[in-house]
Amino acid sequence: MKGTVWICSYLALLLLQATAEEDDFSSVLRDRSHIDETLRLANEEKAADYAAAIQRLRKVYHTSIKPMEQAYRYNELRQHEISAYPGRTLGDSATDGEITSKPMVLFLGPWSVGKSSMINYLLGLNDSPYQLYTGAEPTTSEFTVIMHGEKIRSVEGIVMAADSSRSFSPLEKFGQNFLEKLIGIEMPHKLLERVTFVDTPGIIENRKQQERGYPFNDVCQWFIDRADLIFVVFDPTKLDVGLELEMLFRQLKGRESQIRIILNKADNLATQDLMRVYGALFWSLAPLINVTEPPRVYVSSFWPYDYAPDTSRELFKREEISLLEDLNQVIENRMENKIAFIRQHAIRVRIHALLVDRYVQTFKDKMSFFSDPELVFQEIVDDPDKYYIFKSILAKTNVSKFDLPNRDAYRDFFGINPITNFKPLTAQCSYIGGCLLDKIEKAITNELPALLSSINSGKQPGLSSCELTGCGEKPKNRYRKN
């Protein structure tokens, strides 16, 4: 009997020692110098050049693009488009907050896979009063926006949505229940001067959207549309794909270049088990990501403590640095990406205006004294191909067929915007202001590419001499019939 007690006591002592050694090991903090070095946080930015480029971009948007948006109500077309334009969108209508906003990095994935821990690690918030709460259970129930500020403070969702200087005012459309689940955290940090992080509630497959009290998928779509980089995080224990995760990847379609898949907590596994888990993750995601080139999966452990013993430490370190380099690339190219994005938006606004103009012209040509306006236009909307609405745009304006929006979107668009509310493009001209079409085409072909070239060449963008003096040119309306 005494021997049995002694053996039990000895085993308990060994277990306590092993637990103590594990705790001691997990309390050893990892060196973070490579984060600052890879992200070049010590380098000073050329704030004056960046501010000048932003000012010029804002001027081009407000003078050349926004008037066309408003004249042909482009924002209302966007509300009815579902898959016509995969990729990042500008929103209902661009604001100064959206133009001047920093790159957004969005964290998505199942619950308790380490999304919040990863943000804490990147910002060095661990063991500080301001770290995001983490745990083994589902902990993040809010959409948390971590952004730069002069002092550390939290901002309520209703305040963020009401502040027009920020880019979050469109979130009001998701209702007060959602705004109560939106929170902002401001803090002075070198990394947050260049990027904004968004932490999202973890996906729980046994929870229905209605139980959240707001349209979770629609809110995710709003952030996905505006994200410059999307981290989809998994861990070795949560590789199964349910309905909610499948819906999420459906929303990510068309944005594969922005997605980075992360297998977190990789140091919890031995090398052989890690290879099996890596293969299982690929097998789970293969039906959801329909691209020729397989997505890159980053394998590491993103938290501040040292890697577990007898694991692939060097591999994890290299994978982490590779992911940081991707993040740095987005930060370094943020101005170029913003200009290219505004130009893409201008192309879409121009195509929309050309299509509405074609609908207006066709409606006027078909109308007669005895015609019923509603029946005539309904016939045009129901079968636009019969009247060559879209084909005529392709033939006359050098527009790619891949850039055309969905035909069905215009049925809904004209359902709330009568055709009689719109003027043809030939009537959208003034002697002083010029023609809306000429101005947006000049922005697409000249002004925005020139601004992009000045950024790439390191020249400070400024106003051209013609913009200062006007060059004395009379605005020409090449759409007006002589």
Q: Are 328 and 430 within 8 A, CB to CB?
A: no
Q: What is the pLDDT of residues 59-112, one digit of tens each?
A: 999 999 999 999 999 988 865 343 334 444 554 444 566 787 889 999 999 888
Extract the tokens encoding 355. Answer: 């299509």
Q: What is the pLDDT of residues 440-452, one digit of tens each?
A: 999 999 999 999 8
| Neighbouring residues of 360: CB distance < 8 A, sequence distance ≥ 6 | 419, 422, 423, 424
Rounded Cα gap, residues 146 and 182, in angstroms: 11
Extract the tokens encoding 212. Answer: 């959240």
Query: Cα 246 vs. chain centroid, distance in angstroms?
Result: 19
Per residue of the chain (482 residues), what is the pLDDT tens digit?
445 544 445 444 444 444 444 444 456 888 888 998 999 888 776 666 778 888 999 999 999 999 999 999 998 886 534 333 444 455 444 456 678 788 999 999 988 888 999 999 999 888 777 778 775 555 557 899 999 999 999 999 999 998 877 788 889 989 999 999 999 999 999 999 999 999 999 887 665 555 678 888 899 999 998 899 999 999 888 777 778 888 888 888 888 888 999 999 999 888 888 889 888 888 888 778 766 776 788 999 998 888 888 888 899 999 999 999 999 999 989 889 889 889 988 999 999 999 999 999 999 998 888 888 889 888 998 989 888 898 888 876 668 888 888 888 898 899 889 999 999 999 999 888 889 999 999 999 999 999 988 887 765 555 443 443 344 444 444 334 44
| Neighbouring residues of 32: CB distance < 8 A, sequence distance ≥ 6 | 121, 124, 304
Q: How far is CA 304 from CA 126, 198, 301, 316, in A?
A: 7, 20, 9, 13
Q: Count CA atoms closer than 13 A to 258's CA, side-chain side.
A: 24
